[in-house]
Structure 1
Amino acid sequence: MTVGILMEKPSAARNGSKAWGGTKGTFDGEQYVIAHARGHLYEFAAPDKMVDPSLAGKYKNWDLTNLPWDLRDFSWANEPIKDTAQVRNNVKQALSGCEEIAIATDWDESGEGDAIAINALVELGLTDKKISRLHFTDESEKSLQQAFKDRRPVQSVHEHPAFKKARFRSMFDFASMQWSRAATIMARQSGQDTVLRQGRLKSAMVKLVGDQLKAYNDYVKQPFFQNRFRDENAVVYTNPDEPRFDRANQVPQEYTASPVVRDSVEMRRTAPPKLLDLAALSSMLVNKGVKAQLTLKTYQAMYEQQVVSYPRTEDKTITPQQHAELAPLADRIAAVAGVDTKHLTHREPRKTHVKPVGAHGANRPGPNVPSSLDDVEQRFGTAGRIIYQTLAKNYLAMLAADYEYEQHKGHVEKYPDFKGLANVPKKMGWKLVFDPDAGDEDTASDENESAHGLGTGAEPYVHEGANKRPEHPSMKWLMKQLEKRDVGTGATRTSTYSEVTNAKAKNPLLVEKGKKLTLASAGEMSWLLLPGTRIGDLSLTEQIYADMRAVAEGSADPDQLLTRVADWVREDIEVMTRNADAMRATLGLAKTEVSARAEGVWAAAPDGAKKVSFKKVWAGHEFTDDEIGRLLAGEEIAFEATSKAGKSFSAKGRLGVSEFKGRRYVGFQLEVPDRPEAWCKRSFSEDEKQALEAGEILELDGFVSKNGKTFPAKVSWDAKAKRIVPHFDDKKSKPRAKARV
């Protein structure tokens, strides 16, 4: 019997080949062959392709009257992803002759890896075989070898819990396109030809950043003045009940100098910072000038070489086994990262960082330790160097001692309600290895830290303070907010953030300016539409994750859960419609009529076939379905159009990319002839063309109006504008030469 092992991508297949002894052969007494996908090979078809043809128009056209969708109309059919034909053929050829197929795609809590594999097996007709699943924490040889030996049977691919979970999430996220369509229509009703992408995580990011920006910009400093004491070591003594005043000269001078009484001295300690996830790591790198997109790309390349651990983990700790595997490499990792091993005095597993739960474990260095940071940089660039050094120091801090300090508490002898506190560092411990807030001016240092502790005497003074200004949003701030609200995982936060801040994207939602984060034009419109909507509610993701777990457990029907989406969309459209008036008032926009639009895959796009949307009406002519199909295919079409002056003219052209006020868009482009060819369905003879080019006005018959009537007219050729000019009822105009027939 041959076991076909389906892995997620080529790099995984290479690691599997190392673990099991080749792309095919025998391992642990069983014959096997390795095949690999390239991420997702299939995706849901377009909405209009998954419904009865009689409903295609409703699901294809972007119009509020077509929302919400009835998801019961969908077949939820998959279609191949572009440019995957060779990969799909290779998978089918490799696995068709196997008696068992073992799923060895990435194993994560979202079930995405299982969805990649099972969708491929279903669409390729390979589900009639015995199916099993490999569970591995990473792609190291030991992990993959053990996973092969311990693989578990999959009784039914359609009832496989991880697949059901992932499929439900994909169905909901697909259905969430309705919110993007609704918001985009609102933008176009405001004269803005832009796409406002909405989604669980995108909308949460926009909402958080927009709200925080408003708080930051609306900040009004409110100073106050208050009596306090300060000793010779700069320790401040305060009384929480001491009154505050608006001006310094209002503060009563009622206190005199006094000795300080020390109330207690207590030794305290703090454990090393928690292990990083991709979001926290990427936030630190953004502060060093490395964009999130580059972090993702570089980290993936490093993982494929086992230099770092699995990227898309949801774990915040590592398992005892993972600790045992990495601990022997600690000194080599320290040498590469520039950490003195004398600080690594706590080699035993910490209960705060090492727990017998999880799968892939938190992000950390991998089993293949590089020879140096220069080696890392040569292989993975500057970003790779920073990634490895940061991950290495974060991991090594776990092996360092606790940070220890003495906490001194005391009070002013004459006025005991004035109390002070000082933290005196004693052992720096892990702080000598890794400081997660180094160089971050937004993170306040310990204001109570004092090298000498409490002094012996304190003097009164008038303290000037103010209400604290809200922090300006940044990637680090945003990731903390999302984590606090449990919205997304570290990996999905990072990938989505990379997408919405991509300056090369057509309609980015957020803009990075150094460390600061602001709303892009599309993001500002989106933020103004979100208040009071469900898609803008941060609890939506929590609801969907709960639903995913219920679906996986079999306690909830995914189709039944999805029926709620229609009500959510309907309610949010009503809210967005109200919000749109406020949005237009805020941005100085006016409500406009929205032109009908056509959409589809433009096969002849300059940068390769892609999905596009363009105006369905051009110069008074509405393109038919046949004309839309021909335009998308790259063909030229001809039709009768009407000028702004109400005059009829023959138009010929094809789809193209134009630019208006710096914005590029796809639309019908009129083919402008170099010579007079035809007008009103009448073609000119060669003699007539030459006469028109010579500047003559010709009086000719045989022109056809829009209603099909034939009429005569005097015409001339405007060489500059490259168009025929009719001369109706122009008694003054006379042909400069006899019209040629």
Structure 2
Amino acid sequence: MTVGILTEKPSAARHFAAALGGSSGTYNGEQFVVAHARGHLYEFVDPHWMVSGPALVEKYQKWDLANLPWDPNDLSWELELIKGAGSLARDVNQTLSGCDEIVIATDVDPTGEGGMIAVNLLLELGLRPRSWSRMYFTDEAPASLQSGFTSRTAIASLQDLDEYKKAVYRSKFDFLSMQWTRCATNMARGCGRDIVLRQGRLKSAMVKLVGDQLQAYNSYVKQPFFQNRFRDENGVLYTNPAETRFGQKNQVPGLYSASPVVVDGTAMKQTAPPQLLDLAALSSMLVGQGVKAKFVLETYQKMYEAQVVSYPRTEDKTITPAQFNELAPLVDKIAAVVGIGTALLTHRQPRGTHVKPQGAHGANRPGPKVPASLDHVTQRFGQTGRLIYETLAKNYLAMHAEDYRYEQQKGHVQRYPAFVGITHVPKSAGWKAVFDPDAGDDSPDPGGNTAPDGVAVENGKGLGRIAEPFVFDGANKRPEHPTMKWLMNQLAKSDVGTGATRTSTYSEVTSTSANYPLLVERGRRLTLAEAGEMSWLLLPGTRIGDLELTEKVYADMRDIAAGTATADDRLAVVAGWVREDVAQMQKNAEVMRSRLGLQKTAVTQSERAAGTWTATGRDVTFARSWSGHRFSDSEVQRLLAGETIEFQAVNRQATSYDVFGALAVQTFKGTKFVGFKKLGLGHRDAGGNAQPPTQWCSHVFTPKEIAKLAAGEPVEASDFVSKDGNAFQCKVWFKEDKPGNGKKIIPDFDASLDSPPVSWCKHTFTDAERSALSSGTSIHVKGLTSAKGRKFDADLTWKEQDGKKKIVPAFA
């Protein structure tokens, strides 16, 4: 009997091999073999591929509001291999096909993602072992993997695996959320803006939070106030909450005089080290140093694969005892790399706040392979890698430092006891000497109080002896300008997404290479891009814009995993939500148009043809027109039958040309669609071979020239005319420019010409001059014009130079 172990990624397979003694072999008396995926290998096909019948295909392909909402029961939920995953899927199939038992050993996480990755792959491959089982492990330490293997749990049915059921529900819900993107995009197009407004649980939450905070920030009105307070010689403030505030400084009465300070009490306080970082917090810290979230994700993944840092996509905020023990012998070595003295790292026992028995991959931290130095990290992973390792290592090492300790001193003004002051006197820096998570934060916004009432300020001297009265100049605090750090904190408070998911989605919505980014980074600050502002104005009052939506989805996932609810029941409400949000967005669109100065415009839908495509047996729809040509009923039927058709199209310059092609699956901006694909220009002969066109750039080819082009030979002419109306001479070929795009006329300006050009430096040669040049005779020409517009005279010769014949000037 052979047990097949399916892991989620290559690194996990390596860890299993290390724990069990190889990629195959015997452990605890059982034969085993290890195979691995690389995350998701399958994804949902586009919605119009999930339905049957031309009417439904049309409904799920077109983006107009009349086709919303969707009915989940219409969808087959068919999967397809992700691009480039075919060879890996075949490797898994080959490795596991002969196994008697297959063990799901993918990541164990609260969302069930690991379980779904495995089940989707196993079901699509059609594997049928005698039995299924699931391994559960807290981390990938050898002991955990060995224990998980020997105590694996039997699975009666893959489809009934609790992880799979809840993860598939979430995946289907997020797939259905594409309806909100279509709805919002339709609103934008109804305002004359051809822009895609992407919506989703996390994207919409980010836009809503940033937009609302920007509005609060920009709507801030400073309200100054003046108030009597005291300040001692050490800078400690003494305030009375009941003291009257005035609108003008000259209104404040001079009621008080200097007075001694009375110490009411002192107490020693201490704070534990900050929590371990997740990818969102790490990226938030690095964005202030000019590192984009995209590069943090890409670089961290490379460092993880090299085992320099831990698993990136963890949801854990703590580590397990085994993970603590794994790094314990490496603490001093890690400290040496990042320049932290070991004298600061005296707390070598696990902290209950940071080390807990539950968990999977553990919080983000240094990996088991400690680099020789930060310079070595830079050489392998660049400056971003250096910053990642230095920040991650110091955060982890802070856990091994002592608590930050300070003395809190409270006192009051003797003659006016209602005025109270508080200060903190640092006694031991502890973890702050190792890692300060707030280092480098932006200074407070203008208009805010640097030390709000009741907040103690660190003071190395403590309370002073004498307090002097003064008029305090204050104001209401301005709301914080949104930053990545602020946004990630807000999402964490609302429990929207995981650290890794927040970071990857943030990278997507702020990408400068995206066609329609939602957010814009300006240094550390965040603003709304055009698409983001339009989305924000459409979101008020909608379900998709509600931060509690994710909480609802996660509650559904728990119920589905427990068997108290089904995915079909919980997905059934989505249609109603979409219907409500379409109505709400239509109302919000009026506000959007008013705010942005847009006009309501009619959205025109292009005509489409429909039918069953014999190449796949599927019902499809496709654009009825292509480059100015509308397909006739006969042409539509021929295309659906898989035939290649010919017709005359019109380019943007209103010039007609001949083209032939057939229906094909194509991709535009990541979306697959069926449409006419050009296979070549010109006509085809009886054998289906492409024939050269009759003319190109105003030159009409002779029958002899057409024959040469068809035979793969070049043709030279001097009466070609460019788009700008300039005549030019060159050789042309009839061939493919790019494989698969068909043959067309390709000019070759580097080829040696067979005869002198018609003109040179804005001088048009006479027939006699061209004849002389052809015979190798030099001619003298006056009034030539250089590229910079200068006039000159020269003797011109038609001869070979640099491997080709050309006009060569000689100057007296």
Provide the residue aligned with 2:406 in structure 1: 405
Question: Unmatched 5+ residue regions in structure 1?
Answer: 601-612, 656-665, 675-684, 695-717, 723-741
Q: Distance in 1 between matches of 2:370 and 2:652?
A: 70
Provide the residue aligned with 1:527 in structure 2: 536
Provide the residue aligned with 2:180 in structure 1: 179
Are 1:386 and 2:387 an aligned pair? yes
Displacement of 1:291: 1.2
Are 1:470 and 2:471 an aligned pair? no
Q: Distance in 1 between matches of 2:535 and 2:310?
A: 36
Provide the residue aligned with 1:479 in structure 2: 488
Displacement of 1:272: 0.8
SS of alignment partner, residue 566 of structure 1: helix
- Aligned counterparts, 1:283-294, within 5 A: 283-294=284-295
Letter in 2 for 1:36: H
Q: Distance in 1 between matches of 2:29 and 2:131?
A: 18
Contact 1:393-1:434 at 8 Å conserved across structures: yes
Provide the residue aligned with 2:75 in structure 1: 74
Bigger shift: residues 118-127 or 345-354? 345-354
Contact 1:138-1:309 at 8 Å conserved across structures: no
Q: Distance in 2 between matches of 1:669 and 1:469?
A: 57
Q: Distance in 2 between matches of 1:501 and 1:614?
A: 33
Letter in 1 for 2:75: F
Provide the residue aligned with 2:95 in structure 1: 94
SS of alignment partner, residue 345 of structure 1: coil
Provide the residue aligned with 1:508 in structure 2: 517
Provide the residue aligned with 2:750 in structure 1: none
SS of alignment partner, residue 79 of structure 1: strand
Provide the residue aligned with 1:329 in structure 2: 330
Q: Distance in 2 between matches of 1:636 and 1:234?
A: 86
Displacement of 1:218: 1.5
Letter in 2 for 1:196: L
SS of alignment partner, residue 283 of structure 2: helix
Alpha-carbon spacing, 1:672–1:291, altered in 2? closer, same or farther (3 Å): same
Are 1:197 and 2:198 an aligned pair? yes
- Aligned counterparts, 1:487-502, within 5 A: 487-502=496-511
Bigger shift: residues 367-376 or 496-505? 367-376
Letter in 2 for 1:63: D
Provide the residue aligned with 1:136 in structure 2: 137
SS of alignment partner, residue 158 of structure 1: helix
Contact 2:638-2:645 at 8 Å conserved across structures: no
Deviations along 1:570-590, one digit per CA (max 9) or x if unpaired, are 000001011111111211211
Q: Distance in 2 between matches of 1:121 and 1:166?
A: 15
Q: Distance in 2 between matches of 1:307 and 1:347?
A: 22
Provide the residue aligned with 2:708 in structure 1: none
Provide the residue aligned with 2:803 in structure 1: none
Letter in 2 for 1:254: L
Deviations along 1:475-523, one digit per CA (max 9) or x if unpaired, are 1010000001111111111111111111111111111111111111111
Are 1:359 and 2:368 an aligned pair? no
Displacement of 1:51: 1.6
Q: Distance in 1 between matches of 2:236 and 2:310?
A: 45
Provide the residue aligned with 1:276 in structure 2: 277
Displacement of 1:41: 1.7
Provide the residue aligned with 1:540 in structure 2: 549
Are 1:593 and 2:602 an aligned pair? yes
Letter in 2 for 1:37: A
Contact 2:268-2:406 at 8 Å conserved across structures: yes
Q: Distance in 2 between matches of 1:719 and 1:232?
A: 83
Deviations along 1:606-653, one digit per CA (max 9) or x if unpaired, are xxxxxxx9987678866689769979x998863688999xx9989869
Q: Distance in 2 between matches of 1:150 and 1:571?
A: 49
Contact 2:259-2:468 at 8 Å conserved across structures: yes
Provide the residue aligned with 2:462 in structure 1: 453
Q: Distance in 1 between matches of 2:479 and 2:600?
A: 34
Contact 1:643-1:649 at 8 Å conserved across structures: no
Deviations along 1:680-708, one digit per CA (max 9) or x if unpaired, are xxxxx98xx99x989xxxxxxxxxxxxxx
Provide the residue aligned with 2:346 in structure 1: 345
Are 1:246 and 2:255 an aligned pair? no
Q: Distance in 1 between matches of 2:266 and 2:637?
A: 80
Letter in 1 for 2:332: D
Are 1:233 and 2:234 an aligned pair? yes
Deviations along 1:336-367, one digit per CA (max 9) or x if unpaired, are 22111111122222222122222222111222
Bigger shift: residues 183-192 or 31-40? 31-40
Displacement of 1:536: 0.3
- Aligned counterparts, 1:599-610, within 5 A: none
Displacement of 1:128: 4.2
Q: Distance in 2 between matches of 1:619 and 1:75?
A: 34
Q: Distance in 2 between matches of 1:291 and 1:447?
A: 35
Q: Distance in 2 between matches of 1:27 and 1:296?
A: 36
Provide the residue aligned with 1:2 in structure 2: 2
Provide the residue aligned with 1:14 in structure 2: 14
Are 1:27 and 2:36 an aligned pair? no
Contact 2:658-2:681 at 8 Å conserved across structures: no
Contact 1:298-1:380 at 8 Å conserved across structures: yes
Letter in 1 for 2:429: M
Q: Distance in 1 between matches of 2:645 and 2:65?
A: 31
Deviations along 1:95-129, one digit per CA (max 9) or x if unpaired, are 11111111222222211111111111111111443
Are 1:103 and 2:104 an aligned pair? yes
Provide the residue aligned with 2:613 in structure 1: none
Provide the residue aligned with 1:49 in structure 2: 49
Bigger shift: residues 492-501 or 129-138? 129-138
Alpha-carbon spacing, 1:721–1:449, altered in 2? closer, same or farther (3 Å): closer
Q: Distance in 2 between matches of 1:628 and 1:212?
A: 55
Deviations along 1:33-82, one digit per CA (max 9) or x if unpaired, are 22222321211222112122242111111110010001111121222222
Provide the residue aligned with 1:573 in structure 2: 582
When the two chains are superposed, the root-mean-square deviation of aligned CA atoms in Å is: 3.4
Alpha-carbon spacing, 1:275–1:128, altered in 2? closer, same or farther (3 Å): same
Alpha-carbon spacing, 1:376–1:98, altered in 2? closer, same or farther (3 Å): same
Alpha-carbon spacing, 1:101–1:237, altered in 2? closer, same or farther (3 Å): same
Provide the residue aligned with 1:168 in structure 2: 169
Displacement of 1:137: 3.5
Deviations along 1:423-457, one digit per CA (max 9) or x if unpaired, are 11111111111100111124778751111111111
Which structure's CA Rg is the greater one?
A: 2
Q: Distance in 1 between matches of 2:402 and 2:3?
A: 48
Contact 1:403-1:429 at 8 Å conserved across structures: yes
Letter in 2 for 1:103: I
Letter in 2 for 1:270: T
Letter in 2 for 1:488: G
Provide the residue aligned with 1:681 in structure 2: none
Displacement of 1:25: 2.2
Bigger shift: residues 30-39 or 245-254? 30-39
Alpha-carbon spacing, 1:409–1:627, altered in 2? closer, same or farther (3 Å): farther
Q: Distance in 2 between matches of 1:328 and 1:352?
A: 21
Contact 2:223-2:475 at 8 Å conserved across structures: yes
Q: Distance in 1 between matches of 2:591 and 2:282?
A: 38
Alpha-carbon spacing, 1:137–1:597, altered in 2? closer, same or farther (3 Å): farther
Letter in 2 for 1:548: M
Q: Distance in 2 between matches of 1:616 and 1:459?
A: 84
Deviations along 1:239-268, one digit per CA (max 9) or x if unpaired, are 111111111111111111111111111111
SS of alignment partner, residue 441 of structure 1: coil
Contact 2:50-2:76 at 8 Å conserved across structures: yes
Provide the residue aligned with 2:417 in structure 1: 416
Contact 1:311-1:363 at 8 Å conserved across structures: yes
Displacement of 1:92: 1.1
Contact 2:320-2:362 at 8 Å conserved across structures: yes
Displacement of 1:322: 2.2
